Structure formats: C-alpha cells, structure tokens
Structure 1
C-alpha cells in the first residue's frame, strides 16, 4: 500500500495541476488567515468597505503590469482562495479583474487610447463593475433599453435611461468613498437608427460621490452574499468617443456608421461574449467552495459523536459510522471531486475556444458545477447538525455563493435549455455512438452479470440516455414544425424534455472526465479509490433514472434493485480512506477558518476556563 502522502498527492492531481504547487507560497503570503478572518458583527457599510480594502490588498501583492485575465496560471488559484476566504470579495474581484477588464480587452482590442483606464483598474484606483441587467423585461440582457445616442456635433455619446424598466440592477456600486467605473451595455442609436447593443466605459463615481447625471440608489443587500447593491440610471451622461467599446464597428467623421456584423441583432448577441468570463470564474469559485464544504463536513463527522437510540445507548461513536451519513458525506466528496475535475478542464493555461461545441461545454459545465455546489453546501450543512448553521463554519457563506451564481451569467436552467437548443440543431455535435456495454441485457448475463462499478458501463448507459433523449427531442421538434407551429410553440411544450436531454449530456461529460482523469493516474490503488469515490455521484444519478433505464431495456430489474445496496458497498470501501479523500481536495483549512474542521472545535466557541476533570 502506498504511503498516505503519495496517495494524497495522486488524488490531489485530480483537483489541481502541477503549476498550482508553484503558486502556493505566493497564495499563502497574500492570504493571511488574520487579514482574511471571516467578518463578524460589522455594519453593512463597514462590511462593504472591507471588501474593497481586501481587493486592494490582493492587488498590491500581484504583478499588475499584465492584466490578471491574461495570467491564467495565477488568476484561477487566486479566484479559488478568494472564494474560500470571502465570497463577497470573490464577486467584487471577478467583476473587477474579469468582466470589467475583460470587456476592454475584448471589445477594445488593439487600441491605445484606453491605457489610462486599464492603468486605473490595474492599480484599483478605481474599481470596476458590470452594468448589463435591467429591472424590466424579465431581466433579459437581450432586451436592454438604456440608450447611447451619438451626437455628431461633438462626437460624444449621450447615455440615457428612458424609464424605470431600464434601470440597471443590481450592480454593486453603492459603497461610499470608493471610486467606480462601469462597463455599461446600451443600445447605440446613430442617426435615429438602432445599431444594436454595445459596451461603454462609464465613470460612475469618485470618492466624493456619483458623477453628474449618474443616479446611484443603494439597495438592500442579500444577507447570504453582502454586497453594496444599487440601482443605477443615467440622465444625459456625455461620454467621449473613446469610451465606446466599438469592436469591429466605426462612425466616420461624417457620422456614417459601419459594422462588420450585418445587423443590430447580430451585434447585440456579441455583448454576450463577456459571459464566458463569468462561466470560467463561476466554475473555479464554485468548485472551490464545494470542495471546502465536503472536506470540512467529512472531517467534522469523524469527531462528532452520538450515543442515541440507533447506537443502543452504548459508548458514543462518530456519526461517520452511520451509513446514512456516509451516503450524504461521501456523496459530497464524490460531487466535490467531479466539480474539481470539471473546473480544471475549463481553467487551463489557454482560454476555451470559441467554437460552438467548446462554448457549449463551458457553459454546461458551469451549470452542472453550480448544481453540485448548491447540493453539497446544503447537504454538508445539514449533515453537520446545529453547528452547520453556525456562520463560523462557512456552509451558509458558501451556499450563498452557489445560490448567487445560479443566476449569474444566465441561470442554470436557461444554460441547459441553450445547450439543448444547440444540441438539437447539431451545432458542432454528434450524439454518442452505440456502445455494446449498453445493449439490452442478454440472457447470458445471468451467468456473467455486468459490473455496475465499471466506468465503461457508466459511459455506455449515460451515452445511451443522451442519444435517445436527443433523438426524441429532435423528432418531436420536427413533428411540431411539420404541423405548422411557430417556433415558440414548437419549444414551449418540450422544455422539460430539452432540459432532461441537456442534463444527460452534462452527466456524460462528467463520466468522460472521470475516465480520462482517473485513467491517467499511474498507481492502480489510487485509480481504484478515485473511481470509487466518483462512482457514488455517477451511480446515484443512474439510480435516480433507473425507471427510465428499465423502460428502455438498458438495465434489468435485478440491476436496478441492486443499485442502493451497491452504493452502500462503495461507502463501506471508502470509509477507511475518507479523511485522506477529504484532505486530498487541497482545502486550506486555516484560511477557511471553520472550527469544526478540527478535533478541538468546541474551544473556538468559548473563552470560559474550566477546571481539569478529576
């Protein structure tokens, strides 16, 4: 049997690549547990101010000559640790370094007249924000009503909010004393014609308050993710020509507008290119809090004792001995490893490509990681008893981040529906091929039953589900169109099927990742343990759809009924390795600061002195 350290190193390679080890000393130098202790008892304004103080602290300790967005090997480890230390800071950090800077790099590429703005952002003399979503029209970023009207006399743009439905909400720009600049999406109007949505650099406020014409109204913050939320509207704000992030468009000296994109609808869709930064960031941050929640809960379950009814009132035993706790907590470990592998796959040294399939995989994995994060943070909190509700133990903080990112960068449900739309169209997509392992079970299997712990069988079953749901969706869409239905009605009664198909696609992507990542482990024992822990989530998902697999003839009744027992058997195999599996998730426990991650957690909640027991 390999040593504990080598086993942990092997498992940790599923979570992080080798370059992560090189950044650890730098991260530890930035994230002092004292400086990043969880805020407690602060008034709202003080809490908001602390967020921006911490942002500047990090900025002062990284090389800002090159935008962090272009230093991916440093950016993503920073994002992980920021998410673990302070979810509110994570939100502000990614809005500043990724979406604000990213907008300028994306739509102002090869320009030399925005250097001063980038320099201010690099130094955090001003803090960036993204102002896309508006109050009305279902919060749809495709229905932006804010207008930027071109004035040919001055070559300026006049930014105006035409009504309450066009007010930007909820940018976090309400904290007084902090200079802010926003990337604002607005409908460009040139010569009284709509030219589509563009991004504009808009100075919002300095330390003294909002700039003329900018109306910032602070709003209540969500308790689960404290940020200086506000509504923002514009009353004739004049912007110099250079603040237009024009991309491939231009307006000549005579006021003639040209754009490489042929119409306003195509131009408006380009603004969504920014969302891919949100998807990458969300994948990394949500995977981090998923790992931390699972690891902390598993460690606590080994030191949380009970001697209740089901223990026969015998000597106390740790709750991790109970199979229902194992199913919950080892299931959380399983989901944490899957989230980590998925995040690693989209946060490599090179950005994800812009092909339809690559972008779909990116946002599909963002959606599935968010689902895993919401599930694990909630389950870990519940499995930790009353201490799970203690703010110090971080589950509520991490759950809040997962809830917030369910909506950020398009909601999880909308992402699945968008994936289904592109899959149904066949955009850069070929359904999984038939696999012999998923063929209808044969009579010979009574003598030679299939191994439900075999990754090849998981791949075959999940691939078959994806393929058959895809075939059904395409057939139903085609039949509806043949009946002469409009496109809304074609899809309206098939959203549930579409979402099921996209979720099946997501699960198959996870299975492929597990096979590739665990297959690369050189040690057979580490490979087996890694596949065992991953199997809990994957087999759990297959079990959840066992009725479908039965109806399709892909599982026998005996196989379906054997799944719950098999999951218990996997738990029994994992139990001796649970702490190793938790610690191999690379969680910096001192930074997380959860008392229950340690055996002496009770001392963190009281300063009372007690006499030694006699």
Structure 2
C-alpha cells in the first residue's frame, strides 16, 4: 500500500494527523486483504487502472455486451495460466471481488467460463482413459458456459428433464429437450463473444434405465451460429448486467461417449456398461456439480467488493456535498448530519464484518476442498481428500455466508445509493449498476432463500452451539465478548424454537414438520452468520497491536455491528435472562455514540478499501468537483452578465 504523500517538513498537527491516517489505513488494508495482498489482490486491482477497464457511460446494451466479452479476452491475456485460475477458488473469488464494481456482465461471463465451465472440466479431466484437449477454452477460441437450470427446474435441479440417451449403435448420447419447460434457462449461449461450448446437465438414459443427472461437454455454437440440433433464443432484457441470457434446447444432438464427464459419480465403459461408486442418484448429481460451491464463494466476493465500492462513493460524496447550515451563509457537508452519517456508519461496520467473514469462509473451504490428483502441467498442486463430515460442514457455512452476505450487501448498496440522492440513480456514477447487479448474486449459484433454508434445516438437526451463560449482572455493552455472547444466545434461542415447533408437527408429515420450524430455523441460520462475522472482526482486532489506532477502529466497528443486530432481539434476550433492562435502555444511545466515532473516521475506513484513484476518478459523484461533470460550455455562467446569446 503506497503511503500518502507528506510535506518534507512534517511538523504541523495537520501533517501528523495525515501521517497517522495513512498508517492506520495501511494497517486496515492488511486486515481486509491480508499481508500478501499485493500478490493475491494486486493483479486484479491493477486491471481497474487500465484503459480497457475504465468506466464507459452511454453505451447501448449490445455495445456493453461486446465490451464485456472484449474485457474477458483482455483479462485472459494477462493470465499466466487459465488452468491455474480455474483450479484456485481463492483467485476466482478475488477476481469477482475486484471486477464486480467495474462490469457485472464481465464478472458473470468470466465466472461461468473459468469456474463453472473450465473448472468443472478440470475436475473431471483425466478420469479413466478420457483426455480432453482444453486449449481452445484456455485461449478463448471457444467461450465456455454452463447449462444446468431449466425453465421448470432451478433449485430442484435433480429433477431436470433434458435427456441424454445412450445410442449403442453410434456409441454416443442424444441430447433432447422433451418439452418447453425443459429448455435450459439463462446461461450465455448466444453467438455474442464468439463460438461457445457448454457443460450440459442432462438425465442419463441407458437401455431405458434412468441413471440420474450427469454433465456432458457439448459444442453449442460456431462462427455462423448455433450448431445443428441446437436452438438458442435470447430471453427478454433483464435487470442488471447485459449478459446474453438465453433459452437453449436440443433436438437429438449427438455427442460422443467421451462427452460424459465421468468420475466417482459414474462411468460408461467402451462396452456401454455403466458403473458408479455412488448409489444415490441425488448424490451423483451433487458430486458432478461441485463447482457450484466455489461459485457461491465467488458470489459472496462480488457482494463484498460491490458493497465496499458503493460505500467509498457515498462517503466521499457525503463529505463533498455541502448544504445550508443552521446559520446563513454557513455551509456544512451533508455527512455532518447524524441522519446521514449514522446509516453509513452502520453500513461500514457491516462491510468490514462481511469482508472478514468471507475471508474466514474462503479459508475454511480451501482447507477442505483439495483436488485429488496432481496436475503439474496445469499447475494443480496435489492435496488431500477431505473427510466427508468436514466437507459437509464447510459447504453449509459457504451457503449460509453467501445468503447473508449478498442480502446484507443489497441493503448496504441501496443505502449508499439513497445517500447520493438523484445523482446515485445516474448510470455514469455506477451505483445504479451495483443496485441491480447485486440481485444477480442473490439468485446465482442457488437462490438465497433456498440455500439458506437447506443449510438451516441441516443445522437444526446437526448443529448444537454452546449456550452462553445467562448472567448479565455486572456485564456492560462496552465489552465485545459480552456482545458476542448475546449474538450466540440469539442463535440458541431460535434453534430451540425451531426444534420445539418441529416436535409438535404431526408424525410422518415431513413438509408440515419443516414448516412448523422453518421461520425460527431461518432466523437461527442468520444469527449464526452474524455471530461468525462478529467473531471474524474480533479475530482481526486481536491480531493487531493492542491499543493501536487500527485496533481501536476495528473494536468500534465490531461493537456497532453487534449492537445493531442485538437491538431488534433485545426482547428475546431480556425474556431469556441474557440482558437486564438497563442494557436494553442503553442500546440506542450507545449505538449513536459508536456511529459518530466511525463517521469521524469514515474516509480512513473507506480508504482502506484500496480502490484505485483511476476508478474513483471515473465516478463523478465521488469527487469534490462533481458538478463539473454536468457543466454546459454554452451556459450563461461562462459569459459576463449582460452578454446574452440568442
């Protein structure tokens, strides 16, 4: 992190303050991005400073789409290995984190190509006697896409109806779309961006037996358009990014036997005999689409990157935008008003907590997700297979974090847009794209509510967090340990409610049992995410020198984050004996005090987001001279009074 420039004679109080702010900012950069941030995040951050990635306003949708695919090729040209990127969930997440604020369409097509498509092929490459030439996908001669979701089937993907019938005479599979509801829905399969291939999820039929859903590598389009038997139709324009979402169908498209992505989930030998190490068909499918978990991590990364970018813009604008003060002609920044700064202070606390939770979850997953085979030619390091229980717990944490982070990011981005007023709605200021773009992250890689509910259901039966002591005497809201205990208590209370509700359901009624506990279970999963986020902030604070300015700032952020989550649950906590009446009464004033402290350091806190000056310069509303972006060279203010032009 570059130090802020300082005068040669650093003697004034102002200079000492600037130096202190720069040092704290540097510490916070390392907190957010790690001590190796130059290596891990630097290349992606650097892209934002280059001409191809500078903001372009006023482009028509088709031009925006061409720009996104052009940027994809520029990005690919900077990689030392497309295979290395595809095999590394940390690098994929970092890519999403930095590119999402720039171009949501680019982030979408890049995530699909490198993670869902190329990553899936790498995970299945070399199984048995199948060796695929993936060079066309590494150099983007062909762009990859991922066709799983169907018009009638999204979160219930195991019920997909596209079929892949094995034809013994031709030793291949015939891909067929049996009806309108089985059309593949939304992946980017048009001719935009060049020829494309897809990993297609289809139901494997062998000699009339339905063996479950598997993946098949299928060429979709060429230079002239869709290949024979493949039908591609653009969907209506959607909110958010301009990605070419389509309906794609198949009319007995023949693909070779080697197109089946084989593995432990299933294989078809040269004689057409099927075998599998996995008995359950649902488990076979989930094993095939394992890349969706890395996709959830990437969606979380997109959310934290977008939320931080929105906050950087809103805080800068709040400091530059002057309004009338109490006395005429006094002018004060709009950020001086508590009604303006308090929501942004809470959003800053949330953004730090989101980011640090994401780092924790990403680290937890990478410790579990170890590729089985060494691929030195593709830069894939050899790692150990995780145990099943640890992997399942890590996947559940990824899902809970993805839902909570993207929901929270939407709230943060919406708040920032509103704090920038009408200018926040203009395309050239970028916030409008972030508002709509986060909706894609909320839905992608599993709709939030669906994956949150699945994780919550698993936690009701398999997660028993330790219950904190209900002994609030002598405890104070200034104690972060006490605040984290209260967050843990909320989680326990909600899990108790969920289990009690389910126990009252009629025997044998699985849906009724879930419905009886669902509301509390969902709140419990949210409480779990909040607690893990608070713990991540605490761990980062403890890693800093005690009493340092950076540690004090993180301590303040952590307390505000916790109090804003405890406040709406204070009734439950009081009823269960975890707090006293004095605690409940003190929360509003304490929250206001913490918000004021954070607002006073908002520029330092957003400066630690490390957004390049070039990116901020392309956002008019973020600059002190934002009005110049709307200047009219023919305006009367450019002429002396009385020099009228008609």
Q: Are 2:414 and 1:378 aligned?
A: yes
Q: Deviations over 1:286-312 (max 9, x none)?
A: 11011111111011100111117xx35
Q: Which runs of 5+ in 1 are unaligned?
A: none
Deviation at 1:613, TM superposition (A): 9.6
8 Å Cα contact 2:234-2:247 kept in structure 1 = yes
Distance 1:596 1:61 in 2: 31
1:519 counterpart residue number: 542
Mapped partners of 1:65, 1:335: distance in 2: 33
Q: Which residue of 2 aligns with 1:357?
A: 393
TM-score by length of structure 2 reads 0.88
Q: Secondary structure at the match of 2:366?
A: coil
Structure-2 residue corresponding to 1:417? 453
Aligned to 2:480: 455
Q: Report 1:273-312 matches (<5 A).
A: 273-307=290-324, 311=326
Match of 2:495 among 470, 475, 478: 470
Kindly state the Cα deviation for residue 314 of structure 1 after the two structures are TM-superposed.
5.0
Counterparts of 1:363 and 1:349, CA distance in 2:
13
Q: Distance in 2 between matches of 1:342 and 1:190?
A: 45
Name the residue aligned to 1:128. 144
Q: What is the match of residue 263 of structure 1? A: 280
Superposed CA offset, 1:395-439 (max 9, x none): 11112221111111112222221121111121xx331x2334xx2
- The 3 A distance-change label for structure 1 pair 227 and 211 is same
Counterpart of 2:425 in structure 1 is 389
- Residue pair 1:108, 1:247 contacting (<8 A) in 2 also: no
- CA drift of 1:155 comes to 1.5
CA–CA distance in structure 1, aligned partners of residues 141 and 487 of structure 2: 50
Per the TM alignment, residue 4 of structure 1 is displaced from its structure 2 partner at its CA by 1.8
Cα-Cα RMSD: 2.3
Q: Give 1:139 deviation, angstroms.
A: 5.5
- Return closer, same or farther for 1:30/1:581 CA change in 2, 3 Å cut-off: closer
Aligned ranges 1:76-155 → 2 under 5 Å: 76-110=93-127, 113-116=130-133, 118-137=134-153, 140-155=156-171
1:325-364 to structure 2, matched below 5 A, reads 325-348=340-363, 351-353=366-368, 355-364=391-400
Corresponding residue of 1:543? 567
Q: Does 1:435 align with 2:459?
A: no
Q: Aligned pair count? A: 598
Structure-2 separation of matches of 1:462 and 1:575: 24
Secondary structure in structure 1 of the residue aligned to 2:368? coil
SS in 2 for 1:162: coil
Distance 1:304 1:271, change over 3 A: same
Within 5 Å, which residues of 2 pair with 1:208-287?
A: 208-248=224-264, 249-287=266-304
Q: Secondary structure at the match of 1:115?
A: coil
Assess if the C-alpha contact under 8 Å between 1:20 and 1:77 holds in 2.
no
Distance 2:90 2:148 in 1: 28
How far has the Cα of 1:89 moved from its partner? 0.5
- Deviation string, structure 1 residues 505-552 (Cα, Å, up to 9, x no partner): 111111211111111112522111112123323211111222222222
Q: Distance in 2 between matches of 1:122 and 1:138?
A: 29
Match of 1:586 in 2: 610
Match of 2:513 in 1: 490
2:632 is the alignment partner of 1:596: no
8 Å contact kept, 1:473–1:497? yes
In structure 1, C-alpha distance between the alignment counterparts of 2:271 and 2:87, rounded to whole Å: 37
- 1:61 deviates by 1.2
Structure 2 match to 1:561: 585
TM-score normalised by structure 1 residue count: 0.92
Deviates more, 1:212-221 or 1:130-139: 130-139
